[in-house]
């Protein structure tokens, strides 16, 4: 019996140890192929204790999803406070996101590549997580607009820009998996070069229209 199994561990600490083990197993094997027995062994407890603490395999996955989503949102929020300029605030938010994905690859596999394909309860939790992140990004976009040269960014425009940024960042994580040598700072810089000029113009009220005579 391992030292951790012999020790009396407070329930909140034990739950975090179970979640730590589960994230690694879920990321490696996928939800359906993952074994609660393996998770229990890695956590240093018995299988019945996993069910006692987290009710079911689905409950365990939901706990993983909630914890890592909260960590991601907290990391984003912590870096998007006061900054010398709107673009530096946006850069800080993107860098926080890409740094999280780089530092916690197993967590991102669970959040991004697995959850949407699972049970309705898990899909609903993932949707809630995405809404929370989009809300943070929308708030950041509105702040950028309010500090820009033009009028404040309307809510529908801020939401559109937020969906665009989150979608681009999500897609880039697949590219990151193919280019592990690319650091978060470099990825952030490249995305800023792609999006900031256009975003800044939109926030300042500049729009593109179809040329006369074109459908």
Sign of CA pseudo-dihedral 12, 15, 21, 22? negative
Residue 15: the pLDDT is 94
Six-digit token pair at 76?
Answer: 């984003």
Give the position of tokens 């950041």. Answer: 140
Enclosing H/E stretch for 122: helix 120-147
Residue 1: the pLDDT is 42
Are residues 146 and 86 in contact, defined by beta-carbon separation less than 8 angstroms? no
Residue 80: the pLDDT is 67
Sign of CA pseudo-dihedral 81, 82, 86, 88? negative
Q: Whole-angstrom Cα distance, residue 90 to residue 197?
A: 12
CATH topology for 1-54? Arc Repressor Mutant, subunit A (1.10.10)
Residue 149: the pLDDT is 45
* Class level of CATH domain 65-203: mainly alpha
What is this structure's pTM? 0.81
Kindly write down the DSSP assignment for every residue of 19-69, as one continuous string: HHHHHHHHHHH-TTT--HHHHHHHHTS-HHHHHHHHSSHHHHHHHHHHHHH
Positions in the chain whose pLDDT score sits under 70: 1-7, 80-84, 115-117, 145-154, 202-205, 212-215
Domain coordinates in residue numbering, the chain: 1-54, 65-203
């Amino acid at each position: 019996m391992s030292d951790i199994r012999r020790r009396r561990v407070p329930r909140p600490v034990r739950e975090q140890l179970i979640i730590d083990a589960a994230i690694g197993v879920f990321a490696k094997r996928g939800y359906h192929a993952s074994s609660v027995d393996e998770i229990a062994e890695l956590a240093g407890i018995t299988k019945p204790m996993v069910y006692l603490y987290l009710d079911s395999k689905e409950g365990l996955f939901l706990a993983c999803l909630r914890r890592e989503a909260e960590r991601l949102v907290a990391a984003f929020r912590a870096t998007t406070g006061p900054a010398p300029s709107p673009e530096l605030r946006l850069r800080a938010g993107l860098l926080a996101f890409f740094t999280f994905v780089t530092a916690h690859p197993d967590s991102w596999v669970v959040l991004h590549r697995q959850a949407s394909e699972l049970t309705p309860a898990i899909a609903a939790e993932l949707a809630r997580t995405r809404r929370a992140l989009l809300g943070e990004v929308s708030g950041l976009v509105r702040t950028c607009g309010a500090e820009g040269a033009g009028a404040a960014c309307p809510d529908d425009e801020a939401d559109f820009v937020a969906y665009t940024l989150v979608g681009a960042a999500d897609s880039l994580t697949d590219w990151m998996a193919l280019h592990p040598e690319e650091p978060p700072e470099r990825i952030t810089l490249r995305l800023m070069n792609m999006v900031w000029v256009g975003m800044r113009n939109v926030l300042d009220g500049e729009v593109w229209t179809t040329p006369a005579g074109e459908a």
